Structure 1
């Protein structure tokens, strides 16, 4: 009887060997590509302009939440233009208060209509945080402390860390924004976003993070020039007339859903 069992076991093993081999190969392939993908995310040498990129599989949001984090400055034309798309999305996730504003009249492009966000009260799983690092004229901090032009980046980094810490955000949020604005070049420009502008400064970024990982963009999502000559009141009343704002809104919404992963069903669509 012992031999019979051995023969039966041997036959079953031989019959299942092709299946076992396939399973092993699939597991190895998945493991290889997972390691490769994570490595590519965490060691990106360049990032494209105008697109979000996934930079980490790390969830930087509190459990059960998705965070949308903006970095800008009071006179930023890029931030002013982007504010309309941000508002257009976040109004579906909570109550957002703001004031109408124009970007720095001395910074090119000048006098771009936008919104300065004051407060966000969530009615969903999404939380919104914004830090305005510099003042209206890019010569001082948001609270008026003068900053020499050659120290805008380094001082801005410290301000950003302090601001996000005061909001209770994971320290890695500030670290990622600083890294991708100051160290990772934009493919189309050959320089990080903080250094293809003059004078160099922390320019603009949106970071979105949730159970499915962390995503970032550090370049314009709406061309500020398309808003030149309009009043903030007009743009606010005619958002649907600006196709770039609609497209940028859709992009932000899609990234929120991607970052949300298993929580996506709890997001308004």
Structure 2
């Protein structure tokens, strides 16, 4: 199996991080990740169910259709990636998202290498979970459909403050929701608020992905694949075809 090579931006200046150059060549989940993310986008754009009813709550590890329509109300498509700087879930999901999107549009200039907080229960306790940070909004095209990717990081590396390392003088959940409300469009923010109790873990909001387009909106919380298993096998392949 051949993979497309792209130059990944370097590490932040002044930080000693391991070299992950070999990461791209050694992970055999690459093709699965590419196809899975593309399938998700196609499903979101194509599936339309007139008898749809949104779920009252969501659980981790499963895609849910939460709206029949486009939350942006302008016919456009978007991916909203909510995480925090030191999140190991965000780190693992970042690779699948990167490979899936980069297979259609070169986004290497929009990411930088990073490691998650090694003290986190889901992280690598020695070096921290290797991952990517998305540096800002960007537009990509998949299967002829143009979409915009909107990353939002709520907390710093150790979840002890803001991304700018300023103190948070309220609960982490309240701060995260206020940041969502001030950053994302009203209907998108309302969806994160609606399921906030379902995407909360140990007093903070967790990594969550929301995809919205002309034919519906989907939300997903937690790992897209399990980093601790051999070969980093893809574990989320049951895409939301049900009503």
TM-score (norm 1): 0.61
Q: Is the 8 A contact 2:225 2:233 kept in 1?
A: no
Give CA-to-partner distance per residue, 1:229-267, whole Å, 9 cap, x none. Answer: xxxxxxxxxxxx5331xx65x77xx67xx8xxxxxxxxx
1:173 to 188, 193, 196: 188
Residues 1:136 and 2:142 aligned together = no
Q: Is the 8 A contact 2:81 2:151 kept in 1?
A: yes
Alpha-carbon distance between aligned partners in 1 of 2:209 and 2:219, rounded to the nearest angstrom: 6
Structure 1 unaligned runs (5+)? 1-32, 165-169, 183-191, 228-240, 259-269
Q: Is the 8 A contact 1:76 1:103 kept in 2?
A: yes
Which structure has the highest helix share of the two? 1
Q: Within 5 Å, which residues of 2 pair with 1:156-171?
A: 156-164=176-184, 170-171=185-186
Alpha-carbon distance between aligned partners in 2 of 1:45 and 1:120, rounded to the nearest angstrom: 30
Alpha-carbon distance between aligned partners in 2 of 1:226 and 1:98, rounded to the nearest angstrom: 25
The structure-2 alpha-carbon separation of the partners of 1:89 and 1:139, relative to structure 1 and needing over 3 Å to count, comes to: same
- CA offset at residue 67 of structure 1? 0.5
The structure-2 alpha-carbon separation of the partners of 1:123 and 1:86, relative to structure 1 and needing over 3 Å to count, comes to: closer
The structure-2 alpha-carbon separation of the partners of 1:49 and 1:121, relative to structure 1 and needing over 3 Å to count, comes to: closer
Q: Which residue in 1 is equivalent to 2:40? A: none
Q: Is the 8 A contact 2:72 2:187 kept in 1?
A: no
Q: Is the 8 A contact 1:55 1:216 kept in 2?
A: yes
Q: Which residue in 1 is equivalent to 2:233? A: 243
Give CA-to-partner distance per residue, 1:4-57, whole Å, 9 cap, x none. Answer: xxxxxxxxxxxxxxxxxxxxxxxxxxxxx94xx44x31xx23324311110011
TM-score (norm 2): 0.67
Q: Which residue in 2 is equivalent to 1:92? A: 103
Give SS of 1:156's match: helix
Q: Is the 8 A contact 1:103 1:114 kept in 2?
A: yes
Q: Is the 8 A contact 2:70 2:76 kept in 1?
A: no
The structure-2 alpha-carbon separation of the partners of 1:193 and 1:122, relative to structure 1 and needing over 3 Å to count, comes to: closer
Bigger radius of gyration = 1
Q: Tell me the number of residue pairs that the alignment of Structure 1 and Structure 2 aligns.
A: 183
Structure 2 unaligned runs (5+)? 1-48
Give SS of 1:80's match: helix
The structure-2 alpha-carbon separation of the partners of 1:154 and 1:121, relative to structure 1 and needing over 3 Å to count, comes to: closer
